Amino acid sequence: KQEVTQIPAALSVPEGENLVLNCSFTDSAIYNLQWFRQDPGKGLTSLLLIQSSQREQTSGRLNASLDKSSGRSTLYIAASQPGDSATYLCAVMETSGSRLTFGEGTQLTVNP
Amino acid sequence: NAGVMQNPRHLVRRRGQEARLRCSPMKGHSHVYWYRQLPEEGLKFMVYLQKENIIDESGMPKERFSAEFPKEGPSILRIQQVVRGDSAAYFCASSRTGDYGYTFGSGTRLTVV
């Protein structure tokens, strides 16, 4: 059974800092991995999708890497801003079209 | 191109009533997924549907819960005889095919009183 773990559970940083969020999964036979952002009381916004054959994806100040063999992904946020404050969720898809298995999330607070 | 539409946004039901949650996928998306987020917990898969077919319902509670995605109209998640423990945020997601990522709706927050 696939399990996804995110570390740390919560993170508080001053504005401008670069930071790394970690995600690990127990079964390396994944199809893709997706990072989401969830604001309080809101839905999920997709940030980055990495296919199993890819090593990383970038979008603006965000960079996500994937090391499938070791079962790890990282989300790097450069020059953090207060508007980045949210919960970040990592999710893996094991086969095409199947369910996503989510981690518990990292709650990020960026202080002005 | 509207995103995944869920309604209602908030739903209050008394114990024993029925709750119906609706989800309209993005245009061109034929895969629909339902997830539940209990208070202070992560998102858990419930069911995966394509038009008129349930593909994977392994995450659905065995009783009181059902889902459908008819040929015409939105996908419906139905909870019969709701109990306090059903209070949660229910999210719907859709995808064009399994090769792409999901797009999530804003969720329906169910409160059972």
What's the rounded Cα separation, in Å, for the pair A67 and B93? 26
Cβ within 8 Å of residue B62, ≥6 positions away: none
pLDDT at residue A97, rounded to an integer: 66
Test A98 with B48 for CB contact under 8 angstroms. yes
- pLDDT for the residue B40: 78
One-letter amino acid at B78 equals R
Residue B101: its pLDDT value, please?
75
Nearest to A46 among B35, B48, B101 (CB): B101
Q: What is the mean pLDDT of residues A42-71?
A: 94
Residue B84: per-residue pLDDT: 95
Q: In this prediction, what percent of chain A has a pLDDT beyond 70?
A: 98
Q: Quick check: B95 and A95 CB within 8 A?
A: no
3-state SS class at A72: strand
Å between B56 CA and nearest CA of chain A: 8
Structure tokens at B13: 């039901």
**A27 touching chain B per CB within 8 A:** no
pLDDT recorded at residue B1: 54
What does pLDDT average to over chain A?
94
* Structure-block tokens of residue B36: 């539940």
Res. B98: pLDDT tops 70: no
Phi, psi of A90 (to 5 degrees): -110, 140
- Residue A41 has a pLDDT of 83
Beta strands, E only, chain B: 5-7, 10-13, 19-24, 31-37, 43-50, 53-56, 65-68, 75-79, 88-95, 103-104, 108-112
Query: Within the 52-91 window of chain A, which residues sit less than 8 Å (CB to CB) from chain B?
Result: 89, 91
Q: For residues B21 and A112, what is the distance between their CA atoms, to the nearest angstrom?
A: 39
Which residue of B43, B98, B105 is in closest CB contact with A97? B98
Q: Which of B97, B102, B89 is nearest to B33 (CA)?
A: B102
Q: Does A13 touch chain B (CB under 8 A)?
A: no
- Strand segments, DSSP code E, in chain A are 4-7, 10-14, 19-25, 32-38, 44-51, 56-59, 62-67, 72-77, 86-93, 100-102, 106-111
pLDDT at position A42, please?
85
**Cβ of B105 and A43 within 8 Å?**
yes
Set of chain B residues whose Cβ sits within 8 Å of the Cβ of A95: 98
Alpha-carbon span A95 to A83, nearest angstrom:
34
> What are A82-110's pLDDT values in tens digits?
999 999 999 999 876 678 999 999 999 99
Question: What per-residue confidence (pLDDT) applies to A1?
Answer: 86
Task: Break chain B down into helix, strand, coil percent, rounded to 5.
Answer: 5, 50, 50
